[in-house]
Amino acid sequence: MDYISPKEAALNLKRWPKETIAAGPWHTIGLQSDGTVVAAGDNKYGQCDVSGWRGIL
């Protein structure tokens, strides 16, 4: 079993997982492992327009 020190574990918590999902009541946004963002759902207020999101890692 690999040992991870408490300090190293704390640093790992501050990093984004390779793929992350955030959701609101009417939409979902996903961060893919290559840094691109995808979104789906109700776009009434433009919350799914992720075309300008770049370099998110």
Residue 11 lies in a domain: no
Residue 51 lies in a domain: yes
- Position 22 scores a pLDDT of 82
Residue 4: band (very low, low, confident or very high) from pLDDT cuts 50, 70, 90: low
Cα gap 32→17, rounded to integer Å = 9
**pLDDT of 8 above 80:** no
Residue 44 lies in a domain: yes
Token digits of residue 40:
């789906």
Residue 22 lies in a domain: yes
Give which of 22, 14, 25 is closest to 37, Cα–Cα: 22
Residue 7 lies in a domain: no
The phi-psi region of residue 11 (left if phi > 0; otherwise alpha if psi is between -120 and 50; otherwise beta) is alpha
Domain count, the chain: 1
Contact 22/28 with Cβ under 8 angstroms?
yes
Residue 37 lies in a domain: yes
Cα gap 9→43, rounded to integer Å = 37
- Tell me the residue range of the domain where 37 lies: 16-57
